[in-house]
Amino acid sequence: MRVVCCILLLLASQSALAEGFISRLLNHPVPGGVAVVPLGNAEQAPAARYQDKPVQVVREEDRRWIAIVGIPLNSQPGAHTLMVNDGRPLSFTVGSKHYREQHIKLKNGRQVNPLAEDMVRINRELAEQTRAYQTFSPTQPSNLLFDKPVQGPLSSPFGLRRFFNGEERNPHSGLDFAVGSGTPIKAPAAGKVILIGNYFFNGNTVFVDHGQGLISMFCHMSKIDVTLGQSLPRGGIVGRVGATGRATGPHMHWNVSLNDARVDPAIFIGAFKP
């Protein structure tokens, strides 16, 4: 019996080692999470697509290729399929996750039920931001264990079902930090500024492309400190915390998008809670 137990422990240990650091950090396959799918040990990097969108592929610890797949928040639990460019369909399983509710009171009723002229602006801005989220550049991300953009306590988590003045709206697609107005916001990884705007809901906003469909979005800022097309080092200043757009007070709102799916930023800073 002791020999059998030792063998099982050895196999479990070998499996964990084979999995690698990136897999252990990022593999949380739930709606709004990330799935890490092994692609084999070919010499050249394979390409893969999920829901007909390209996904990030990296080499883990100089051994195997892995696909890092963003799972949309509205995904159904169960079997999902990743298509590799050699024709292989690879299946992975999405589990379930419960997201709690958040009720917010806003004084400005137009930010809950916008006027017709507001909707013209909102739809134009949504199209701009959607194009930015769909960016897929060939650059490998400088790091996948992200730095926190600000040092401060987490406030509103990702995925909250949000009710504004009693009316349900889109779930919370990012992670909020409770920090004061004017606090510098730092890039969690190197990247390129691909969109800057002042938007109806998001206020002062910056999109940073980290490479291969991995995008950070920062909004509600009091000040923007970058220019369109600027390359940012890891830790470079993006802007300053504020309360512009639909916000009840100063805070840092950070979205992470992967293959055009908004995913929980907590995954990338080692703070994910199942």
Q: Where residue 169 falls among pLDDT bands split at 50, 70, 90?
A: low
pLDDT at 26 (0 to 100): 97
Phi, psi angles (nearest 5°) of residue 123: -65, -40
Gyration radius (Cα) of the chain, Å: 20
Q: In the numeric block, which tokens belong to residue 158?
A: 């990702």
- The average pLDDT across 155-177 equals 76
Nearest Cα to Cα of residue 173 among 99, 232, 97: 99
pTM score of the predicted model? 0.88
| Alpha helix ranges (H) inside 165-221 | none
Q: Which two tokens stand for residue 232?
A: 């940012």
Residues 6+ apart with CB under 8 A from 272: 28, 33, 264, 266
Range with the poorest average pLDDT among 30-34, 148-152, 236-240, 244-248: 244-248
- Residue 171 token pair: 């779930």
Q: Which of 29, 49, 31 is nearest to 39 (CA)?
A: 49
Q: Specify the range with the lowest mean pLDDT, choosing from 29-38, 103-112, 140-149, 258-267.
A: 103-112
Residue 108 has pLDDT above 80, yes or no: no
CB-count burial class (<10 Å; 0-12, 13-18, 19+) for 42: exposed
DSSP 14: H
pLDDT tier for residue 190 given thresholds of 50, 70 and 90: very high
What is the rounded distance in angstroms from the CA atom of residue 56 to the CA atom of residue 259? 7
pLDDT band at 109 (very low <50, low <70, confident <90, very high): low
**Stretch 122-139: mean pLDDT, rounded?**
96
